[in-house]
Structure 1
Amino acid sequence: MLDVQFLNDKASKLVLFLKKVDKILKNGKEAFIKTPIYPDRTQYYLISAYNELEEITCHILKEITGEKHKGDCVRKIAGEQVFSEKLNRTLVDYSNYISRVMEDNFSYSPEELYAVANEITKTLLGIFIKELASVVKEIKSREPKLAIPVNIKKIQDHGKAIKSSVRKISNFLNFPEEEFINTPLFIDRARYFSVVAIDSSLWICRHIIRKLKKKPDKNCFLRLSGEKIITEETGRKLQEFSALRDTLADPTKEYDPKKLYRTLKEITPVFLKFLSEISKAIFKKTG
């Protein structure tokens, strides 16, 4: 799902850098050519603005294509034709400019840079934010409605941390119990990733409780099951395991390795069940 706050932050920085370029260009072409600091500053601001634009377009592309993109998103989104023809041409020109400067080490003359910078800033400051808002509005209209008004991006980030921790813990649990309890590294890492999973689960729990306009307390998982967001069994098991958090986080505190092994065998699938139940509660049909 789109992270509108992320897009707003990136768009604000993009506009800030472009306005700095625009301020320089308004001194006129002759002053731009004769003042060495103007081309240098302009190129710096254009590169900085492009970095923000790249993050914006990568985020939008992920929602449009369903795939994560790690580079060249400005050019790719122009190919998707989600913006106007004029803006798409400018995005391609901007991408070409950055490619020549950063990859080909091409040096633009002040005259060439003035023309390129003028076209980029004029178009982006003129229509990009307006068109971006329209694209965001269209994508948001297709997203499922949330039954609970959570910060879905934060929920997803913590969900990934939980899944990653469970996967790593499971790698240790694939070894026989005897080997696990006699391998300090396994025990240490399993304790660490257990704490990560607990902390992320607690963050999700408290966040949802607050969004339900309740006040979270030390029995968060039990409260969540009481609100019918997760099952009673899931709430009880996570509440019991989360009570071990401080012990597992403190390397000076002992915890029976055999008991840890068996407890983790039982609790790791519960973390995944927790995420599944949370997802169903957040995205359930509201009528």
Structure 2
Amino acid sequence: MLNIEFLNEKATKVNNALKKVSKILDVGEDEFLKTPMYPDRVKYYLIILYDELEAIACHILSNIHNEKIKENCLEKLSQEGVFSEKLNRLFQDFVKFKVNLFESGFNYSEKELYHLSKEIVDTLSNLFLKELAEVVRQLKEKQPKLAVPVNLVKLNHHASVIKGEVKRLEPFKKISKEEFLNSNFAIDRSRYFLVVAIDSALWICRHLSRQIGLKPSKDCFKNLGENGVISQDVAQKLSLISSLRDVLADPTKEVDKELLYNLVKSEFEDVSNRFIVEVAKFIKYGKQE
């Protein structure tokens, strides 16, 4: 999903970098060429500018294709036809410039640098933010309508954290019960991974409770279960697991090793997966009769 806060932050940084390059270029070509400090600063700000554009491009591409895209995003975006031809050509020139800059060890003709930098600044200043706003508007219109208004960016983040911590438990699921119960390392690491996952599950629970106007409760998962947001079975299991959170987080406190082993072996993965699926279904469709 689109993270408007992220895009606004990156767009602001793009604008700031453009202003800094523009201010240097305003000294004129002759002054630029005879003052070594100016080309060096322009290179520095252009690299910052490129990195911010790359981050924006990765986010847009990830939303267009509904998958995480992390590399060569500006080049890929220029081939998508999302922006105008003029901007797409500039993106391609900017990619070539960065490649050449690194390959040449930052030795780049000052004259070439001046004119290319001027073209980059002029084109981006005139077109980029305006076109970006339109691209974002179109992408927002294509996003699925939700029955429950939630912060999807943060909710997806915490769901990913839960899945990530479950994955980190995998090595301990593969060892024998006896080996697990006698391994301080397995027990300590499992406790930590579970606490991180529980905290994210609690964040999702509390956020969702606030968004649908439920009264605050000491037992968030039980509250969701009683109000038909998640199944009673999932609510009861997560209620029990979350009640162990403080014990698991405190290394000075003894933990029931048998219970911990069962959580690691399968129980936590099963219930956390069901929790994420049920929450996603509720957010999309609302309470099912």
Separation (CA, whole Å) in 1 of partners of 2:239 and 2:259 = 17
Residues of 1 paired with 2:176 and 2:21: CA distance? 63
Tell me which residue corresponds to 1:164: 164
Residue 202 of structure 2 is aligned to residue 220 of structure 1: no
Query: Runs of 4+ in structure 1 displaced over 3 angstroms?
Result: 213-217
Aligned equivalent of 2:47? 47
| Percent identity between the two aligned chains | 48
C-alpha distance in structure 1 between counterparts of 2:236 and 2:259, whole Å: 18
User: Which amino acid is the alignment partner of residue 95 of structure 2?
Assistant: S
Gapped runs of 5+ residues in structure 2? Answer: none
Q: How many residues are treated as equivalent by the alignment?
A: 286
How large is the Cα RMSD of the aligned pairs?
A: 1.8
- Matches of 1:191 and 1:285 in 2, distance apart? 34
CA shift, 1:285, in A, is 6.8
CA distance, structure 1, for counterparts of residue 239 and residue 224 of structure 2: 10
Alignment of 1:104-115 (within 5 A): 104-115=104-115
Is the CA contact (8 Å cut-off) linking 2:146 and 2:285 kept in structure 1?
yes
The equivalent of 1:99 in structure 2 is: 99
Going from structure 1 to structure 2, the CA distance change for 1:257 and 1:36 (only over 3 Å counts) comes to same
Bigger shift: residues 29-38 or 168-177: 168-177
Where does 1:1-287 land on structure 2 (aligned, <5 Å)?
Answer: 1-214=1-214, 216-264=216-264, 265-284=266-285
User: Deviations for 1:69-91, whole angstroms, at most 9, x for unmatched residues?
Assistant: 22221111101111111110111
Distance, in Å, in 2 between the alignment partners of 1:260 and 1:87 is 56
TM-superposed CA distance for 1:187, in Å, is 1.3
Any idea what SS the aligned residue of 1:76 has?
helix
**SS of equivalent to 2:107:** coil
Q: Shift of the alpha carbon at 1:108?
A: 2.1
- TM-score, normalised to structure 1, is 0.93
Q: Secondary structure at the match of 2:253?
A: coil
Q: Indicate if the aligned counterparts of 2:148 and 2:286 stay in contact, CA closer than 8 A.
A: no
Q: Cα distance, 1:263 vs. partner?
A: 4.3
Q: Which amino acid aligns with 1:191?
A: R
**What amino acid maps onto 1:173 in structure 2?**
K
TM superposition shift of 1:188: 1.4
Q: Which SS does the other structure have where 1:2 is aligned?
A: coil
User: By how many angstroms is 1:259 displaced?
Assistant: 2.6
Contact 2:247 2:253 in 1 (8 A): yes
User: Structure 1 CA distance, aligned partners of 2:66 and 2:232?
Assistant: 35
Give the CA deviation at 1:106: 4.7
TM value normalised by structure 2: 0.93
Matched AA of 1:94: F
Q: Which amino acid aligns with 1:100?
A: N
Distance, in Å, in 2 between the alignment partners of 1:12 and 1:77 is 20
Cα deviation, residue 131, structure 1: 1.0
Structure 1 residue 244: Cα displacement = 0.7
- Contact 2:62–2:69 under 8 Å retained in 1: yes
Provide the secondary structure at the position in 2 that maps to 1:123.
helix
Q: Which sections of structure 1, spanning at least 5 residues, go unmatched?
A: none
User: What letter corresponds to residue 160 of structure 1 in structure 2?
Assistant: S
User: How many angstroms apart in 2 are the aligned matches of 1:227 and 1:47?
Assistant: 52
- The residue type equivalent to 1:31 in the other structure is E
Structure 2 counterpart of 1:27, one-letter code: V
Q: C-alpha separation between the residues in 1 aligned to 2:103 and 2:218?
A: 54
Q: Is the 8 A contact 2:158 2:204 kept in 1?
A: yes
